[in-house]
Amino acid sequence: MKILVCISNVPDTTTKVKFVDGNTKLDTTGIQWIINPWDELSLTRALEVKDDASTGIKSVTVAHVGPATTEPTIRKALAIGADDAIRINAEPTDAYFVAAQLAEVVKKEQFDIIVCGIESSDFNGSSVGGMLSEFLGYPSVSAVSGLKIENGQVVINREIDGGKEIINIPTPFVAIVQKGIAKEPRIAAMRGIMMARTKPIKLYEPIAIEPLTQVVSFEMPKPRAACKFVDAENPKQLIELLQNEAKVI
Amino acid sequence: MSVLVFTENWDGKFKKLSFELASYASKIAEMLNTDAIALSIGNVDESELKKLGSFGVKKIINVNNEALKNLDNQAYTSVIAEIAQKEGSKVIILSNNNTGKGLAPRLSVRLKAAIGAGVSQLPLSVSPFTVYKRAFSGNAFAHLELKTDVKIITLSQNSFELIESANGASIENANVQVDGSIVKTQVKEVQKQTGKILITDAEIVVSGGRGMKSPDNWGPLEELAKLLGAATACSRPVSDEGWRSHEEHTGQTGKIIAPNLYFAIGISGATQHIAGVSSSKFIVAINTDKDAPIFSAAQYGIIGDASKVLPKLVEAVKEAKGK
């Protein structure tokens, strides 16, 4: 079986975002780019599953929609342990566009398990994985916090309110994962970084797709009022403020 | 034309979330001069369905079918798409919770409808149709134009008020054919804790960070939560260390929450943590470091050690509640 992990290239999560061109574009000056955190966890879990020889996973591929400038992020995924990569050479315009590009490539390359992070930390669309599954007509499970293969059967944990469901799903399918799928992201070792330089990145040109959405502008969150401090010896005052001023308890 | 809202139920019961969705849909319907229709899938009795009618919807469509007993994204997508087409729905609203995130993108492709995901208020305009949505994990917001004829919105939990307004809602039991063979996922087992207040539902959340110093020090924090009827939560280092389960992790990669009141105790407030809790209406921070970034996000603060402040806070709450 072959696993595909879809990865997105996002600003480091500690970035203080700023916008340019009349607040329509992200100011990319000085930004460190990383693998989207949920995609990194997805990749980690895919590699763990492959490491267990009994699962019969032959390869873990990463796919990404982005221009050539995003290749360092793909190399990072290869350094962590992906066997090979696919880059679709296009500026990602919206989730629909990205999912349509990925679907086109999956139809050609064929994978058994496709894993996507629940959302990207930049546009927070929570859409690409679900859209991809619908383009392909594959079953999908969202809120996946566990994925394993037992005697050739894929078993998934789906988070529900106050617990989880254990689900059997036939391949091919799309798993949309969240925190819990892997304990911590795997870190690239020196050997992995060396090997990543020679691993193949297959290039596809995009198909013509009209995005369905358009960002008109960005804005910063409204600043909050200054913090009111209460003496540590007198928390009673805090309770009074919460009761009478904030009226929340 | 209509506005369709998918109202999830939990073992046949609606939650505040379902009524928030109905209120939101009714307001959008007003903006578009049309009616809101609520769709419920599953075994929900009539008295429960009627409750949706108090939040402005004109019609409640009930689909109850054995094949839809468990959430299967493909089967549910087919039902919602069929109803939306039959009712000529121009806007479809779901929650931005796990279920909505599973269904909305599939519907988007099925109906070629643009999605505005993680929306926290009414559209900025309906022509062009522009929504205000969370971006950069709460560090910014986007004005996003949905350019298709049919639009999908997923509404952030606890971001829209309940608006009671009766509209003489009728209940219609829709006879939707579901071919069981399209259900590909098979739920083998359900593991559920009962009686615990869920972080995503809670009006008050009490959360601890590394400043709690040890997994053995959570007694007073849990007591405070219990007194306030609050859910307990934690920061990422705490769940990574295994002090608390990852289900309690609030923050960018954990749970994104918007309670009325959030206590950040011994949490310094890394960007990623703030991103997950900044939609809280009020934040109380307790930290030894007066320069900790959490105080910039908080309305109320106490500079002090959690182990010393918490017991006093517990006593103060007991006194205020007369316990």
A143 and B130 within 8 Å at the Cβ level: the answer is no
In a domain, A224, yes or no: no
For the segment A8-57, what is each residue's pLDDT rounded down to a tens digit?
999 998 899 999 999 999 999 999 999 999 999 999 999 999 999 999 99
Please list the pLDDT of chain B residue by residue as tens digits (323 residues).
999 999 999 999 999 999 999 999 999 999 999 999 999 999 999 999 999 999 999 999 999 999 999 999 999 999 999 999 999 999 999 999 999 999 999 999 999 999 999 999 999 999 999 999 999 988 899 999 999 999 999 999 989 999 999 888 999 999 898 888 999 999 999 998 877 788 988 999 999 999 999 999 999 999 999 999 999 999 999 999 999 988 899 998 889 899 999 999 999 999 989 989 998 999 999 999 999 999 999 999 999 999 999 999 999 999 998 86
A140 and B118 within 8 Å at the Cβ level: the answer is no
Residue B172 CA to residue A133 CA, distance in Å, equals 31
Structural domains counted in chain A: 1
In a domain, A149, yes or no: yes
CATH number of the domain to which A193 belongs: 3.40.50.620
- Closest Cβ opposite residue A224 in set B108, B261, B299: B299
Q: Is any Cβ of chain A less than 8 angstroms from the Cβ of B320? A: yes
Question: What Å distances lie between residue B147 and A206, B75, B142, B172, CA to CA?
Answer: 21, 27, 15, 31
% pLDDT > 90, chain A: 92
The domain in which residue A7 lies consists of 2-216
B115 and A225 within 8 Å at the Cβ level: the answer is no
Radius of gyration of chain A measured on its C-alpha atoms:
21
For the segment A112-164, what is each residue's pLDDT rounded down to a tens digit?
999 999 999 999 999 999 999 999 999 999 999 999 999 999 999 999 888 89
Residue A101 CA to residue B235 CA, distance in Å, equals 36
A212 and B192 within 8 Å at the Cβ level: the answer is no
Tell me the backbone φ, ψ of residue B67, rounded to 5 degrees: -65, -15
Q: Is any Cβ of chain A less than 8 angstroms from the Cβ of B36? A: no
Residues A42, A48, A54, A56: is their CA dihedral positive or negative?
A: positive
Residue of A nearest to B290 (CA): A229
Residue B240 CA to residue B228 CA, distance in Å, equals 27
Q: How far is B129 from chain A (nearest CA, A)?
A: 10
Q: Which value does ipTM take for this structure?
A: 0.95
A225 and B299 within 8 Å at the Cβ level: the answer is yes
Residue of A nearest to B189 (CA): A166
Query: What is the model's pLDDT at position B321?
Result: 86
Q: CA B59: distance to chain centroid?
A: 23
CB-CB neighbors (< 8 A) of A165 in chain B: 70, 187, 189-191
Q: Is any Cβ of chain A less than 8 angstroms from the Cβ of B146? A: yes
Tokens 């600003």 -> residue: A11
Class of domain B204-321: alpha beta
- Bridge partners (DSSP) listed for residue A163: A160, B192
Helix (H, G, I), strand (E, B) or coil at A147: strand
CATH number of B2-182: 3.40.50.620
Tell me the backbone φ, ψ of residue B24, rounded to 5 degrees: -65, -45
For the segment A180-202, what is each residue's pLDDT rounded down to a tens digit?
899 889 999 999 999 999 999 99
Would you place residue A105 in the very low, low, confident or very high pLDDT band (cuts 50, 70, 90)?
very high
Ranges of CATH 3.40.50.1220 domains, chain B: 204-321
Would you place residue A63 in the very low, low, confident or very high pLDDT band (cuts 50, 70, 90)?
very high
- Bridge partners (DSSP) listed for residue B23: none
In a domain, A26, yes or no: yes
Structure tokens belonging to residue B16: 């505040």
In a domain, A246, yes or no: no
Q: Is any Cβ of chain A less than 8 angstroms from the Cβ of B145? A: yes
Q: How far is A201 from chain B (nearest CA, A)?
A: 28
Residue B47 CA to residue A196 CA, distance in Å, equals 61
CA nearest to B131, candidates B118, B141, B145: B145
B272 and A242 within 8 Å at the Cβ level: the answer is no
Q: Give per-residue burial for A12-46: e unless 16+ CB within 10 Å, then b.
A: ebebebebeeebeebeeeeeebbbbbbbbbbbbbb
* Contact call for residues A106 and A114 (beta carbons, < 8 A): yes
> What's the half-sphere exposure (Cβ side, CA atoms, 13 Å) at B260?
13
B109 and A134 within 8 Å at the Cβ level: the answer is yes
Residue B229 CA to residue A249 CA, distance in Å, equals 10
Residue of B nearest to A38 (CA): B253
In a domain, A41, yes or no: yes
- Closest Cβ opposite residue B198 in set A119, A162, A164: A162
Q: What distance, in Å, lies between the first and last C-alpha atoms of chain B?
A: 54
Query: What is the model's pLDDT at position B323?
Result: 65
In a domain, A230, yes or no: no
